[in-house]
Structures are given as C-alpha cells and as structure tokens.
Structure 1
Amino acid sequence: MSSSNFNKELSVLFTPMKLGPLTLRNKFFIAALTRDRNVGVGSPASATNTNVPTDVTTEHYRQRAKGGASLIVTEALQVTQHGAPWPYAGGIWSEAQVQGWKKVTDAVHEEGAYIYAQIWHPGRVAQLDTPGQNASGELVYAPSAIQVRPGGINRFRYREEEPWPSMPVEIKDPKKFIEQHRQAALKAKEAGFDGVEIHAGGGFLIHEFLDKTLNKRTDEWGGSVENRAKFALEVFKAVAGVFGPDRVGVKIQPTGGYNDVGMPLEDTVETFGYLLTEADKLGLAYFQVLRYHKSTDEFRDGKGVGLNHDTIKIYKPFLKKTYLFGNQSYTPSEAAEHINSGKVDGVFFGLPWIANPDFAKRVEYGIPLNEKVDISRLYHPQELTAEELRKGYTDYPFAELPLAN
C-alpha cells in the first residue's frame, strides 16, 4: 500500500474480487442508506411526488465512488408508486426516475466503481396519507390483513400523530407484485445499474411473506415453509431473468425486530435455511445478511421483538455457491478478520460512509474518521432547497492525503 501507516492486517480489504462478471477494485462496499434527497426542488412533493434524484443525489454518490468504494448499493427504490411509507422515498417506477438515476450511474462509473439498485416494496408499512400513496389511488397491501402495531421504531415516519399505521388489505394475486419487481429491474437496467439488490428484510413485503406470524394465508403462498418462501424465490427468479442471476443480490434480516416482525428461533432457522438453500441453486451474486443490533430492534415491555442470534455462523453453511456478505456495525479490522477467517466473503459498511465520503481512503492511509454525523439531516420531512439538501449529505469533507514517497 502507499502509506507507511497502513495496517497490513487490513490488506484483504484492498484486494480485488470477482462478483459475477464484475471485478471489484477492493472490498469496500456501501450498504443502502436511505437519505431521501430524491425530490424535484421547487416542485411540491404533495403535488407531483415524482421523487426524482437531484444533482445533489448524483454528487453524493459520485463523492463516495471517488472516495474508494468499489460497490455501491442505492437507497431503497420503490418498485411502484403505491407502497409509499413516507414522502421523498426513492423510486424506479417512472421514466423520469430512470433518467435521474442514469446521471447517478454515469457518475459512479466515471469514478471507477459499480452500483446496484436496491429495489423494494414496503408492503404493510406503507401509509395511506403519504403523497405517493394518495397519488397512486391504491390501497396498502400485505400477504395478510395484519396491521403494524403503533409505536414501533420505523424511523422514517414523518408524522407522530394518529392515524398510523394503515390497515393493509390482503393481496389477491401475488404474481402481480412479482411482476412489479421485474418491471423495476427492467427500469434499473435502463438506468445503467450494474445489478440489483432485492430488499427481502426490514419487515417489508418479501419479509412479510416469509414470516409465519404475518403470513396467515391458506393458499399456495402461505402455511408451510415452502409456500411462505415461494414469493421471495419467484421475485428472485423474475429479477434474475432481467439482469442474469450473477448480477442479483438479496438483503435479508433473519433477526427480525424491525417494523414489528419476527419469529421464534426454530421457525426462523427453518425458514431462512430453506430460502437460502433454494436460492443458492439460482446462482445469485450474493446474500447480504444483517447481524443483530439493538438499534434495529423494537422493545416492548422491556423486551426486544427481534431475535438475537449469530446470523453469520448459522446461515452461511446453507450457501454453497453464493457469496455471503455481512452487514451491521462492522469495523474495518473486524471485517478483515472475518473475511480472512472465512466467516464472510465480504462486508457492507453503512454509517461510516455517511460522514466520510472517502472512508476507504481514510482507512488506507490511517487517517482518523470523521465521527460527527449530522443526524438532523439523515432524512427530511419537508421540501428543501438545493442548498438545504446538501447539508449533512454532500458537505462532509474529504481528508487531505499524504504525498506519495
């Protein structure tokens, strides 16, 4: 490495790796980070709700590609206009969004990195009074008509007063929602993305189908483990049919706890073990598996809803061909240790990339990280000017790198 301060124990993070047809320049990946800067400045979201990426969005992703990231996963992009959980959530369901994200993918590629679009449907977490939901003219849908309990930790809520959350309507034809994911993948490909990450965690639609406490269906999409996993597997196949399986990743959260979702340990291992075993046959690029952390758990009566178990150790053996990438509160040293020991094939970093657009460069040169994250501007509940959109988003400084010897 180019710095005398470089820690050789971290060298594995700076070695290239193959991900399907892509050759990543290092192992510094950026996890999806919802920041909600996708709004047409000057156009009230309540009137248009187009949620198109701005030039500030492009600048944010370019910075982090320039700062050394090899693979970036976007913030979650809705596959349809309905299913909006809050204003300003990103989307990939309109032509305007395709053109907006094309600017982002071009910028990332110019800096030598690759970028996947994370696609999702929030399911029962959507809210009827959000601009996007209202504009769609649709209801809130879920595998079964089971409401999210009020008072959860969904940090993206833009209103504290009731009524919240919305009562979902049971989906009549799950195939319609599978097709929505396929259409989103087609638009992501048109926008120049290198692949797609399917969000199958977080207590959102795919996760809801998997969880037996939320999926009470008695048809072919509910009941047994095989039936509950069918929706997820069909979504994987549909998206793989667009990009090719080796350009498709999946994010899962077996710990539950987020958005009032979670099963007992025996059911969780059986369900996710089956899902991984079957998905492994498809030749997907990777599974991103979240570890347990109390920040993503709901606590009711002093007890966590989530399941605190070793998701990396338990679920990696189910994957024979597909990479397992870890996520949740990794330090660079822990990431390197886990990769070197074979516990994981790679690691996604999240929070460090918010305040450090050059996170990989700082680690390489032993430069201290900027720890001051502007929490007040992680997300925004109202229309902002272009300058306001930059605050806590693109205004974090790059470190001054030492001159090469």
Structure 2
Amino acid sequence: MSALFTPLELGSLTIPNRIGMSPMTRNRSSASRAAGGAGLIVSEDTLVTQQRSAWPDAPGIWNKAQAAGWKRITDAVHAHGSKMYCQISHPGRCAHPETPEQIAAGVPVYAPSAIAARGGKFYYFPGTPGYVTPTEIPDPAIIIAQFKEAAVNAKEAGFDGVELHAAGGYLVHEFLDSSSNKRIDKWGGSVENHTRFALEILKALREVFGRDVALKVSPNMGMPRQETIATFGHLLREVNKLNIAYVAFLRYMEIQKEFNT
C-alpha cells in the first residue's frame, strides 16, 4: 500500500501519489473532489462544442466564460496539492436536434456517416425520443480545430492536461468503428484512415499541452474481434510514437437495468 503514496511522473508532471479520481458523468464538477488528496483528478466529460447528448447539464469548455468558471475549480484543486486533467469530447451522433443546446448551436447532429446509433433516451425533454440519423460531417478538420480550441481554453482555465474521450460511442469513437464510419475519403475505409481523426486530434492537443495529453478508448464495442484488434492495435502503436502521458481503457459491459424516470 505504501507505493500508492509515492510520487509518479505523468507526462511532464510529477503527481504527489498514485491515486487518481477518474471521470464521472454526474453533470457537475466540484473542487471538493480534491479534498481526498488524489494525485490526479480527471474532470467529467466536458464538451468542445455547443451540442448536447443525453446528459442535460454536462459541462463545456468551448468558450472563454466556461474557461473562467473552470479556473475557480482548478485553483481549488491545486490548493489541495492535486493535478487536474480536463476530459474533452464531442457527442457526435449521440446528440439530439431538439435539445436546447443543440438548437442554440444552430447546427445539425454530426457524425462520420449518416447512421443512427442504437437505443438512446433523452429524459429531460418531452417524448423521451431516441437517437436520430445524423448528418455526415463535411470536413472533419473543422471538428479537429474545435478540439484544439477547447484545449487552449482548458490551458487558460488552469488544467494540467487534457484527456481525449475516444470511447463510449461518442464522435471520436464513431470514426474509429467501421459500424458507424462508412466514409470512403481519407477519414474512413482502411485502418489507417479510421484512426486518422483520433490521431490528428491528439497531435493538435499536443501543440497546446505537450506531453500532458491522454487518451481514453473502449476497444470492445461495435466491430468484430479481428477488425477491432487491427484498428486499435494500429491506433495504439501510433499513439505510442506521440509520447503522451497515458492511455485509459474502458471496458463496455451491457447491463440490464431499469431506471426510474
């Protein structure tokens, strides 16, 4: 147990211990999380664009006002001796056109290809509809630029690094998976092209944070086993060349459970 309380080099940082608080989607962010003395805290899923998924009050980092709000949190975390990463994401086809934030954004629900996700419920507006057929992103480079801008805002907000959310069926994961990405341009088709979007985002994030960039993936969703191994094997080999801080793995497990609404 004593090893848990020894320092650890993580990217360009040295965190005071080997205890981390992983991201939790609770539609809130609280500096009280630092009170336990975790060496590293990763924020909950934080959006890089004004599009909304099934979580009504998920935080964002796409503008300066949000960065200013986050600065109060990172200052408090640092005061407790902890470091903090911002987990950044784009909902992709998990957004819905009738959510207030999506309407305010004035853009369609975007995805690599016009293929709807399965299931989905949006409890916080009437009708609890499911996912819709998204609009194919005309130029993924525009979204990459949004991720980079979010990283700039995160740095101004005092975060020590960023973690790219490429799991859970959100946009980056959608590009990786052949069941949601049927593109025939340079962003789809081959293993190299399926991984291009994630890798280009990581390179853009590195321009802002250097080595203090992380990646979260969930390889066991969507594709057949051999295709999954080929795609994520290539991704991780290329990520290793980028010399980022860490890679977090999320295991998908289907849980049969009824939730009260």
**Counterpart for residue 226 of structure 2:** 266
Instruction: Please report the RMSD computed on the Cα atoms of aligned residues, expressed in angstroms.
Output: 2.0
The corresponding residue for 1:108 is: 77
Which letter maps to 2:226?
E
Query: Deviations for 1:108-151, whole angstroms, at most 9, x for unmatched residues?
Result: 0000000000000010000111111011111000000000123x
Give the match's secondary structure for 2:243: coil
Could you tell me how far 1:160 is from its partner in structure 2? 7.7
Give the direction of change, closer, same or farther, for the CA distance of 1:292–1:146 in structure 2 (3 Å limit).
closer
TM superposition score normalised by structure 2 = 0.94
Do the aligned partners of 1:83 and 1:123 also contact (CA within 8 Å) in 2?
A: no
Separation of aligned partners in 1, 2:132 and 2:170: 14
Aligned partner of 1:201: which letter? A
Q: Which amino acid aligns with 2:61?
A: I
CA distance in 2, matches of 1:211, 1:231: 11
Tell me the residue number matched to 1:25. 16
Q: Helix, strand or coil: the match of 2:23?
A: coil
Which residue is equivalent to 1:66? Answer: 35
- The reply on whether 1:249 has 2:218 as its aligned counterpart is no
Equivalenced residues, count? 260
Q: Which runs of 5+ in 1 are unaligned?
A: 1-9, 38-56, 257-261, 300-374, 382-405
What letter is aligned with 1:27? R
User: C-alpha distance in 2, partners of 1:134/1:292?
Assistant: 31
Moved over 4 A (4+): none
Residue 24 of structure 1 aligns to which amino acid in structure 2?
I
Task: State the distance in 2 between where 1:269 and 1:87 align.
Answer: 34
2:3 to 12, 16, 26: 12
Say if 1:140 and 1:73 are closer, same or farther in 2 by CA, change over 3 A. same
Match of 1:239, SS state, is helix
Any idea what SS the aligned residue of 1:118 has? strand
Q: Summarize deviations over 1:343-375 as a string: whole Å, max 9, x none.
A: xxxxxxxxxxxxxxxxxxxxxxxxxxxxxxxx9
Name the structure 1 match of 2:176: 210
* Equivalent AA in structure 2 for residue 98 of structure 1: A
Partner SS for 2:78 = helix
Deviation, structure 1 residue 159? 5.0
**SS of equivalent residue, structure 1 residue 281:** helix
Contact (CA 8 Å) 1:83, 1:140: kept in 2 or not?
no
**Aligned-pair CA distance for 1:293:** 3.5
- Distance in 2 between residues matched to 1:252 and 1:160, nearest whole Å: 32
1:299-349 Cα deviation digits (max 9, x unpaired): 9xxxxxxxxxxxxxxxxxxxxxxxxxxxxxxxxxxxxxxxxxxxxxxxxxx
The AA in structure 2 aligned to 1:253 is S
Larger radius of gyration: 1
Distance (Å, rounded) in 2 between the aligned partners of 1:149 and 1:20: 37
The SS at the match of 2:26 is coil
C-alpha deviation, 1:279, in angstroms: 1.0
Gaps of 5+ in 2: none
**Shift in Å at residue 24 of structure 1?**
1.1
Look up the SS of the partner of 1:75 in the other structure. Answer: coil
Q: Deviations over 1:210-258 (max 9, x none)?
A: 00111000111110000000000000000111111x10001001122xx
Partner of 1:330: none
| Residue in 1 that maps onto 2:102 | 133
1:171 aligns to what?
137
Instruction: Specify the alignment match of 1:119 in structure 2.
Output: 88
Question: Secondary structure of 1:234's partner?
Answer: helix
1:367-389 Cα offsets, whole Å, 9 max, x none, are xxxxxxxx99xxxx9xxxxxxxx
The 3-state SS of whatever aligns with 1:13 is helix
Q: What amino acid sits opposite 2:158 in the alignment?
A: G
CA distance in 1, matches of 2:197, 2:54: 21
Offset at 1:64? 2.4
For residues 358-397 of structure 1, what are the structure 2 equivalents within 5 Å?
none
Q: Is the 8 A contact 2:220 2:251 kept in 1?
A: yes
SS of match in other structure, 2:242: coil
Q: Distance in 2 between matches of 1:176 and 1:292?
A: 29
Q: Distance in 2 between matches of 1:12 and 1:161?
A: 51
